[in-house]
A and B are shown apart, each in its own frame.
Chain A
Amino acid sequence: ELKVEQNPLFLSMQEGKNYTIYCNYSTTSDRLYWYRQDPGKSLESLFVLLSNGAVKQEGRLMASLDTKARLSTLHITAAVHDLSATYFCAVEETSGSRLTFGEGTQLTVNP
């Protein structure tokens, strides 16, 4: 059974600071996704990582994937309040259909 673990689960940081969210998973997969969810809203796709060594950047967020270590990171640079949300990583099973999500990291950026 595929397991996906994120840490930290809760992150409170000041504006302007940098931090990294980690996503570990338990079985072989080379497809990993990051989503953002605002309270009461749906999931918004942030990054799609499809191979070992993949790195994607959008604004203050950068995601990477190491399939050998079964690890993905979401790095936040110079955080701003607008980044406050819950971030989920999700791993695609080898069957190519269902996603297995982590528990989510609730990020709060304080002024």
Chain B
Amino acid sequence: GAGVSQSPRYKVAKRGQDVALRCDPISGHVSLFWYQQALGQGPEFLTYFQNEAQLDKSGLPSDRFFAERPEGSVSTLKIQRTQQEDSAVYLCASSLGKTGTRLNEKLFFGSGTQLSVL
């Protein structure tokens, strides 16, 4: 498919477990974002990559959250020692544009990974 693909679609973790969430952006897209969407809320920014460079990680809620995009395409969001408050849908979005251009004008979101921490 031509869209942003995220896996797994659902993830159930026991408190304290580490999880890894994957995002396959649209081929050729330079910019990649991670957003966290709690139940009944709007998405909240976590981090932004331009190619392999993580240009903004100011939205990551704690040092248990780590994101990477080593080859400038696939990205992984890792959460260590998960807590119940980490339960949310994690959305990935990609864009052909980059900072300084209108990158949000053509921003495509994936369907998200729903993480439940028990």
Contacts and interface: CB of A to CB of B under 8 A. Distances in A.
B59 interface: yes
Contacts, number: 60
Given A41-B111, A42-B112, A100 B100 contact: no
Given A33-B104, A42-B110, A100 B45 contact: yes
A43 B93 CA distance: 10
**B interface, size bucket:** 20 to 34
Given A42-B91, A42-B109, A95 B99 contact: yes
Contact of A98 (B41, B56, B111): B56
B103 A96 contact: yes
Interface in A76-101: 88, 90, 92, 95-101
B109 A97 contact: no
Contacts of A98: 33, 45, 48, 56, 59
**A interface, size bucket:** 20 to 34
Q: Which of B103, B104, B110, B111 has the most CB of A within 10 A?
A: B104
Contact of B104 (A40, A42, A99, A104): A99
A96 B100 contact: yes
Interface in B31-65: 31, 33, 40-45, 48, 55-56, 59
Nearest to B6: A42
A42 B3 CA distance: 11
Interface of B: 4, 31, 33, 40-45, 48, 55-56, 59, 91, 93, 99-100, 102-105, 107, 109-112
